[in-house]
Amino acid sequence: MAALRLVLGLGLVALVVWLRGGLGALWHELSLAGLPGILAVSTFHAIPMATCGLAWSSLLGKARPAARAGFVLARWVRDGVNQLLPFVPLGGEVAGARIVAARGGVSGPTAAAFTVVDITAELMSQAVFTLIGAGLWLIDRPAGLILGPAGIGIALCLPMVAALLLAQKLGMVRLLERLADRVMPEAWRNQREAAPIHDTMVAIYAERRRFTIASSIHLAAWVVAGGEAWLALRLLGHPLRFTEVIAMESVIYAVRNAAFLVPGALGVQEGAYVLVGAALGLPADIALALSLIKRGRELLMGVPALVTWQMLGRGPARTAG
């Protein structure tokens, strides 16, 4: 089934490229940015990525700089695993929790609980980001036809937040416990006295100030991440205003999350950029090139993250207490 979804995604990419002038036109646009452009976008992406790591660590409250650095490292690996190994269920989350357990100064079950709460905070902040994008669509382009992208973003994002919260109530956390016990047993070994993940999550949610801070930092990361597309478009020679980029990215991210069944949202992201970009007057080949620059960034940052993950995985996990 996973292979079928991958083939479907690659087929969608090929279809979008073919409909938009073929590889020749696409290569011409990509050459405007080139490898230096992908390097520049990757360097910029490190800012929102690190910000997400700090948002994750803020659930700890006061923490040593070394512990916060461990969360940033875990976020880098988590993103790399999710982007390049999308077939592994919760692979990035488990890898990130394992690093947090080893370097963040918390126990394995606590690291897993922090991970689930962080995912919730990030998705809730994305819902707010989508609403901000919808507002920008209405302000910049109030015509009836342009309501489509804003409506799509809201329709896709808000139900996903509700579904995540419902899943936590219906046993998703128990699934994470079983998965983590199989994938990273050394982090759980000799911790039978530790509170179950679900109970630890309840305690974390009770710290409302910390959860609010984490969500706010994630929201800032979503806004800063818009600068990645803004920079890429300037390198491609088709700049948009930052507010327009935020409006576009708010829909793209919502579409990517909704397409979680397609590995890496292959084809889905590309088609979304073409359709949403058209509403902003962005040529289809430029919109497709933008998507592929982001794919290049995922590869450039993801491969070292996977190597780091394997190197860290050779030693025993160090857990608190």
Across the range 276-301, mean pLDDT stands at 88
Half-sphere exposure of 247 (CA within 13 A, CB side): 25
Q: Which residue has the higher pLDDT, 320 or 11?
A: 11
Mean per-residue pLDDT over the chain, rounded:
78
State yes or no: pLDDT of 146 exceeds 70. no
Each domain of the chain, given as residue ranges in start order, spans: 47-312
State yes or no: pLDDT of 317 exceeds 60. no
Tens digits of residue pLDDT in 225-266: 999 999 999 999 899 999 999 999 999 998 888 777 777 777
What letter does residue 64 receive in the DSSP assignment?
-
**What pLDDT band is residue 62 in, cutting at 50, 70 and 90?**
confident
**What pLDDT band is residue 316 in, cutting at 50, 70 and 90?**
very low
Residue 304 has what pLDDT? 92
What residue spans of 62-194 are helical by DSSP H?
A: 65-84, 91-103, 108-140, 147-170, 172-183, 185-188
Q: How far apart (Å, rounded) are the C-alpha atoms in residues 213 and 211?
A: 5
3-class secondary-structure state, position 238: coil
What letter does residue 260 receive in the DSSP assignment?
T
- What angle is formed at CA 16 by the lines to CA 127 and CA 237, rounded to 5 degrees? 75
Q: How far apart (Å, rounded) are the C-alpha atoms in residues 310 and 308?
A: 5
Residue 69 has what pLDDT? 92
Task: Provide the token pair at 120.
Answer: 């919730």
Q: Which residue has the tokens 């394997």?
A: 310
> What residues contact residue 220 under an 8 Å CB cut-off, 6+ apart?
51
Residue 193 has what pLDDT? 43
Q: How far apart (Å, rounded) are the C-alpha atoms in residues 274 and 287?
A: 5
Tens digits of residue pLDDT in 70-115: 999 999 999 999 888 877 777 888 899 889 988 877 887 888 889 9
Q: How far apart (Å, rounded) are the C-alpha atoms in residues 180 and 183?
A: 5
Task: State how far the alpha carbon of 209 is from the alpha carbons of 160, 202, 205, 220, in Å.
Answer: 23, 14, 9, 17
**Residue 77 and residue 305 in contact, taking contact as beta carbons nearer than 8 Å:** yes
Q: Which residue has the higher pLDDT, 51 or 292?
A: 51
Tens digits of residue pLDDT in 157-183: 777 777 666 666 655 556 555 555 554
Q: Which residue has the higher pLDDT, 128 or 312?
A: 128
Tens digits of residue pLDDT in 7-51: 444 444 444 444 444 444 444 455 666 778 888 999 999 999 999
State yes or no: pLDDT of 147 exceeds 60. no
State yes or no: pLDDT of 275 exceeds 80. yes
Q: How far apart (Å, rounded) are the C-alpha atoms in residues 97 and 214?
A: 17
- DSSP assignment of 32-60, as one string? HHHHHHHHHHHHHHHHHHHHHHHHHHGGG
Residue 314 has what pLDDT? 47
> What residues contact residue 301 under an 8 Å CB cut-off, 6+ apart?
42, 45, 46, 49, 76, 79, 80
**Residue 106 and residue 125 in contact, taking contact as beta carbons nearer than 8 Å:** no
